[in-house]
Structure 1
Amino acid sequence: MEMTPVNTVNLCGVLSESQRILKSNYWHFFALALFFLPLSISIVFTPTVNPHLSGHFTTDLSHKLPTNYQNIIIVQLLYIIIVYLLALCAIGTISYSTYNVLIGKPVNYFAALKSLIFNFFPLVSTAIVAQILLFLISLAFLLSVGAIVMLGKSLGFVYDFNWTSFMWVSIALGAMLIGILIYFQMNWCLALTVVVAESKWGFAALRRSWCLVKGMRSVSLSLLLYYLIGNGLLAWVSSKPVYDHHNSVFITMLGSFFLMMCLLASTVANAVLYMHCKSFHGEFALEVAEGFDYINLPVDDEKVIHVVTVVEA
């Protein structure tokens, strides 16, 4: 018998497949997505997004600065940490349930929560390693730019740092840095799914994700930009209402809900992409040859398609 992987999918294929998974287990995934709710509310209500809140926040902070400035900072840091950890819980449980759906196992809410016992600290460790690496990459880029500027001055180049030139140079450098960070995010997008599905964490999960994405980077990039732009626009639109309008709070809360659902959809789509990347590299064929038997999934409108096709020689 000869094992052959299925054809490469595109963005639409990943999105349609993830939508089928969500529809067939809607309430299960909705309950898990509530872990994302604090994050979505924070994104919509954050003072950096809403100038009205920013002004009030700055005024209050300036009045209280001499007395409880440190307490405010500590509370904010604790809140950020809690929201971030809850988001990782959402990613872990949703990825676990999506993976079970894809391999033909039933999903269970309490089983998904129980999986956090084994996956929580690996998820946190992998996320911390990724953030540290992204910070170091950003720092190295900025230091390189500074070194080039200093080298140019030492060689006698004269820089005209007027406002217009400085603005355009800053925009160009910012775009370059964003492009570099997106490149690494594109290659590491499967790392947290790898933690759940393969029990790898830290640098091993990042390396594994990088290897899996090879040959599927166009789909990975498309998926990343699709949800990055979509979530950004949704957060921006939801934070726009002026606060003297009687419907503004309702609109903002509604936007937080839809942002939560978009985060849910993106997490499911990443797990679907993970399975297609494994299929693309022929790993399912090897697992079947080694005795793993979870390929016989029914193929209809309500189920996920076969990830490996078995062809008689």
Structure 2
Amino acid sequence: MTPAHTLNLLGVLSESKRIINTHSRHFLALSVIFLLPLSCAIVIYPTLYHPAGAAAPDFVSTGINDTFKFNFPQTLIYILITYLISICALATITYSTFNGFYGRPVNFFPAIKSIIFSFLPLITTALAAKFFICLISLSFVMFIIVILKLVQNLGFVVDYNSSYFIYFCVILAVALGLIMLYFQVIWGLASVIAVTESKWGFEPLWRSAYLVNGMRSVSLSLILVFGGLIGIWVWMATNSVLGFSIVDDWRSWEFVLQTIMSSGFLGFLTLLLLHFTAANTVLYMYCKALHGELAIEIAEEFGREYVSLPFDDAKLPHIVTVISVS
């Protein structure tokens, strides 16, 4: 019998690892097709216009506008392609993890087909989240402007170069960052809901805020752990690529070492992205268990599919228990 996990971070990580290991070849194929190119795009693009050892662009002689116009088409194409790949990766891995949790067959072509049904819900949900984020940021900026105008109307002189003003800006930046982190926590399940429940727009945001209630500490821990690891690893991988660009002789041991290091960095970054996406899907299932929704669905799943369930214990639906501690 598969052991039951409590609803905590270790349980989420353990269950996502179990699903990935059970269908390792399937997730490996998805990672190679989607996550590995995404990792390469994240790491390599910052080095294209500013390779190691190259002089900084002379904005005085060339002009900032000319430089911006030169880079804008490539940047726009890069953003569109990267976002498209990330949408495909998110849809396929979420769909596969969701079915793996229930013990359903996890196949390659149905996972690819899920992109068609998940693409518009993911896009509209992302646009809805961006709308709220922009609205909050704009409100924050307007609040700062009102405070500065009020101080000036009271007869005080605002010295924008003073250390007090810098401290004030730092405090406001930290406050804005915490607000953004809060919404990231409560909206963390929105993409999973868009894929698994085919909801779109603002509805996945409200649904995510409802489900994550009671599991916010787990959601926050998941974001901090994987966000920190991915951020550090991207920085290390970017430095590795920058070092790789200054090696001229491909037959030297420096070239071989940089190649091995760059490949290792990209591979581990791909693994982090895979486990983060899978863990977020498992967190969604655990949140449903906390709200009493998962037991009913699993009972319906057994009643509908019990004849065709696999005999391998690792592929059976995972039972989640909710223990209330008074």
Q: Does 1:136 align with 2:146?
A: no
Segments of structure 1 that go 5 or more residues without pairing to the other structure are: 1-5
Q: 1:69 to 1:220 in 2, by over 3 A?
A: closer
Instruction: Give the deviation of 1:56 after TM superposition.
Output: 5.8
Segments of structure 2 that go 5 or more residues without pairing to the other structure are: 248-253
Q: 1:248 to 1:175 in 2, by over 3 A?
A: farther
Retained in 2: the 8 A contact 1:47–1:57? no
CA distance, structure 1, for counterparts of residue 234 and residue 266 of structure 2: 8
Q: Which amino acid aligns with 1:244?
A: I
- Corresponding residue number in structure 1 for 2:320: 307
Q: TM-score, normalised on structure 1? A: 0.84
Deviates more, 1:143-152 or 1:249-258: 249-258
CA distance, structure 2, for counterparts of residue 101 and residue 204 of structure 1: 25
Retained in 2: the 8 A contact 1:295–1:308? no
Retained in 2: the 8 A contact 1:21–1:98? yes
Retained in 1: the 8 A contact 2:98–2:281? yes
Q: TM-score, normalised on structure 2? A: 0.81
Deviates more, 1:196-205 or 1:242-251: 242-251
- Corresponding residue number in structure 2 for 1:127: 126
Q: How does 1:53-64 map to 2 (within 5 A)?
A: 58=57
SS at match of 1:215: coil
Q: 1:173 to 1:38 in 2, by over 3 A?
A: farther
- Corresponding residue number in structure 2 for 1:27: 25
Instruction: Give the deviation of 1:67 after TM superposition.
Output: 7.6
- Corresponding residue number in structure 1 for 2:286: 276
Q: 1:47 to 1:96 in 2, by over 3 A?
A: same
Deviations 1:4-61 (A, max 9, x none): xx8851111111111111111112112212312233223222438996459568469x
Retained in 2: the 8 A contact 1:299–1:305? no
Q: How does 1:30-49 map to 2 (within 5 A)?
A: 30-33=28-31, 34-47=33-46
CA distance, structure 1, for counterparts of residue 305 and residue 147 of structure 2: 54
Deviations 1:165-214 (A, max 9, x none): 34433322221111111110111111111011111111011111111000
CA distance, structure 2, for counterparts of residue 183 and residue 80 of structure 1: 26
- Corresponding residue number in structure 1 for 2:258: 248
SS at match of 1:115: helix
Q: 1:44 to 1:68 in 2, by over 3 A?
A: closer
The list of structure 1 runs, each at least 4 consecutive aligned residues, that deviate by more than 4 angstroms after superposition, is 48-57, 62-69, 286-292, 294-304
CA distance, structure 2, for counterparts of residue 162 and residue 29 of structure 1: 53
Instruction: Give the deviation of 1:228 after TM superposition.
Output: 0.6
Q: 1:97 to 1:54 in 2, by over 3 A?
A: farther
Deviations 1:139-187 (A, max 9, x none): 2212212211211221233434335334433322221111111110111
Instruction: Give the deviation of 1:283 after TM superposition.
Output: 1.1
Deviates more, 1:228-237 or 1:143-152: 143-152
Count of residues in correspondence between the two structures: 304
Q: 1:250 to 1:291 in 2, by over 3 A?
A: closer
Q: 1:71 to 1:184 in 2, by over 3 A?
A: same
Q: Which amino acid aligns with 1:15?
A: L
- Corresponding residue number in structure 2 for 1:146: 145
SS at match of 1:240: helix
Retained in 2: the 8 A contact 1:85–1:124? no
- Corresponding residue number in structure 2 for 1:3: none
